[in-house]
Structure 1
Amino acid sequence: MSDSLKLETLRAGDRAALLDSRGYRDLVALGAEVVAADGQPPFNDQTLVDARAGRCVFTLAYLDETLAGAAVVNGDTLELVIAPALRGRGLGAALTAHMLDEDKVLVGRRRPHVSYLSRLLEPFQSDAPLAIPTLAWSHGDHPAAAALAAKYRFSAVRRLLQLRLELESPYTAEASAPNSPAQTDFTIDSFVPGRDDDEWVALNARVFAEHPEQGSITQSDLRARIDEPWFEAGDFLVARGPDGAMVGYNWLKIEPTDIAAAATPTPTPAAERVGEIYVIGVAPEAAGEGLGRLLMQHGLAALAARGCTTAALYTDDDNASAVQLYRSLGFTDYTVDVQYREDAHR
């Protein structure tokens, strides 16, 4: 491995300075490369939201002035990625060693695997993460990540499926379920920022009360997403009952054309455009009435109308009812994310 590998910390406290920094621009470019190669982003959306809010820091690994990889510790969770063109050269092991083995990261607790690669990097290391991660994500379930997890005695505890569906155009909710009783019981309209914020945050917390990430979304998290370039209020569908109360939602995420094109360096005339079912939820009291299917059908119709050729979504593989619904609509497996947890007894 080259001794020109250097590590830098990208601090996120000043949003304006962060977005204008070379490190952040390099990170965005690396993310586009990874999406093009792997079919999915290298970091969870909440990780990026928290980074821009100053709640976590990125460690960037440069090889001869080229960003070779990046890692972030957000709370107790590690995410790490290596540039597709530079994989297989030991850089992932080196960056993992920095995040998990370095003495100044350990805060009085030593790992059993302080590697030669970590010692080799010592002259180039800058600020360390503030906490030792006990959880880690492998986006795409890469074999190299599984090997590193075994080395550091992390065990798989969660599997997040990415499912996809090819969209036909035109796609209409009415055509896909002409006799759905939910169509007469609920009204579907669009989220109104500023008016619906409180009601949605409260409903989302109830729907995902036992979900480790989605259920903890706050007002500031919602506002951060509203500020993202991909946000369109018309893509945020909400369902209301006869009394006007919000009882469900289907939030769609469609990257702007210029951002989506950046992730496809050599697009074809019939380039795929992926729209995401970003998050869908139904109030517990409205469950079992067909509302989830109705929201999905309206969401798929909206994606097709916006020019998307493929719909994507993420769901835990142990959420049997959700997986059954999505598969009944034609969704099939695309990739798998695996979450690892540090073994309690080592």
Structure 2
Amino acid sequence: MTDVRSTDRLTPAEAAAVLALAAAADEADGVQPLSEDGVLGLRGDAHRHLLSTADDGDLAGYAYLSGTSGELVVHPKHRLRGHGTALLAAAGALLGGDGGLQFWAHGDEPAARAFAEKAGFTRSRVLWQMRRPLADLPDVPLPADVRVRAFVPGQDDAAWLGVNSRAFAHHPEQGRWAEGDLRLRFAEPWFDPAGFLLAVDPADDHLLGFHWTKVHPAEGGEPAIGEIYVLGVDPGGHRRGLGAALSVAGLRHLGGRGLSHALLYVDESNTAAVALYRRLGFEIHSTDVQYTRAS
């Protein structure tokens, strides 16, 4: 019988074992099984962690829940032995039928699709990763009544959280960010306030929008790549064309770092954002799928 244990906080050794499991799955499948939120959650108590143990005591599978949504991964050498099914059952038991259960599958792989369908899940959300070269960027000037400056940690936190929550009011993850989410990312080695661009009103420094960029370091045979990490415009202080202008400003910043390409993530259903990014030259690179099972 597969043993699954749940906990609100992982020990450092358990977190390291999860990262090693995820790395083994990435090597076997060619896709990272845990998102940034999943990795950051290994260090805190915001997620409910589920650990499936093999007969030899090794970590065979891992899942977490954040609310009703999460991710799941089974070590390649322990697949087809019931660990994934046991983790899903344990996650459902934690919710107790209170709301539907959602899990992300990265890469839109046939094996993940078959597993989800067999377990009674249906495809409910699609997230695209889009990419473009950083050469030949379009010329999109900022509105005349806007200036751009770098984010100042400790000074701009509250204003940014307010604009972020309004810009992503209907987004199931981004719009819920609080101060703790910011602090987690400030502590990450990739965080660079110079690449966290704020669009402000020159008259009073009122925050109008932002483009938070990120640089992913070179890994394996893959070169370093930039990212439009979070891009938002305050719907209450909208300046026409600010989203496109901020996009290009951030891409130029990334190009100035010596990077050759940039990526972003966007919901397939966000037609306005997809249209903007296509106009800026981005094309679909890969697909993640969220599967949902009703309670």
Identify the match of residue 14 of structure 2 among 10, 23, 32. Answer: 23
- 1:327 Cα shift? 1.1
Q: For 2:266, what is the secondary structure of its paired residue?
A: strand
2:182 equivalent to 1:222: yes
2:199 equivalent to 1:239: yes
Gaps of 5+ in 1: 110-130
2:193 equivalent to 1:203: no
TM-score by length of 2: 0.86
**Bigger strand share:** 2
Residues 49-84 of structure 1: per-residue CA shift (max 9 Å, x gap): 44422122333445556654421122211311234x
2:258 equivalent to 1:296: no
1:55 aligned residue: 46
- 1:251 Cα shift? 0.9
Identify the match of residue 253 of structure 1 among 204, 214, 238. Answer: 214
TM-score by length of 1: 0.74
Q: Distance in 2 between matches of 1:248 and 1:33?
A: 39
- 1:29 Cα shift? 3.3
2:89 aligned residue: 101
1:332 aligned residue: 283
2:294 aligned residue: 343
1:141–1:338 CA contact under 8 A, matched in 2: yes
- 1:291 Cα shift? 1.0
2:70 equivalent to 1:78: yes
Q: Distance in 2 between matches of 1:149 and 1:230?
A: 34
Output the amino acid matched with 2:214: K
Q: Distance in 2 between matches of 1:103 and 1:218?
A: 25
- 1:162 Cα shift? 0.8
Deviates more, 1:198-207 or 1:65-74: 65-74
Gaps of 5+ in 2: none
With over 3 angstroms needed to count, the CA separation of the structure-2 counterparts of 1:99 and 1:32, relative to structure 1, is: closer
1:128 aligned residue: none
Identify the match of residue 12 of structure 1 among 9, 23, 27. Answer: 9
RMSD: 3.0
- 1:284 Cα shift? 1.2
In our comparison, the structure showing a higher alpha carbon Rg is: 1
- 1:306 Cα shift? 2.0
2:15–2:42 CA contact under 8 A, matched in 1: no
1:272–1:310 CA contact under 8 A, matched in 2: no
- 1:154 Cα shift? 1.8
1:112 aligned residue: none
Q: Distance in 1 between matches of 2:153 and 2:47?
A: 27
With over 3 angstroms needed to count, the CA separation of the structure-2 counterparts of 1:108 and 1:62, relative to structure 1, is: closer
- 1:273 Cα shift? 1.4
Deviates more, 1:220-229 or 1:30-39: 30-39
With over 3 angstroms needed to count, the CA separation of the structure-2 counterparts of 1:317 and 1:147, relative to structure 1, is: same
2:80 equivalent to 1:90: yes
Identify the match of residue 212 of structure 1 among 151, 154, 172. Answer: 172
- 1:297 Cα shift? 0.9
With over 3 angstroms needed to count, the CA separation of the structure-2 counterparts of 1:186 and 1:138, relative to structure 1, is: same
Q: Distance in 1 between matches of 2:162 and 2:91?
A: 42
With over 3 angstroms needed to count, the CA separation of the structure-2 counterparts of 1:323 and 1:288, relative to structure 1, is: farther
Q: Distance in 2 between matches of 1:141 and 1:9?
A: 27
- 1:217 Cα shift? 0.4
Q: Distance in 2 between matches of 1:278 and 1:34?
A: 25
2:267 equivalent to 1:307: no
In the alignment of these two chains, the number of paired residues is: 293
Residues 28-61 of structure 1: per-residue CA shift (max 9 Å, x gap): 3344455566665422333344442212233344
Output the amino acid matched with 1:82: V
Output the amino acid matched with 1:59: L
Q: Distance in 2 between matches of 1:322 and 1:197?
A: 25
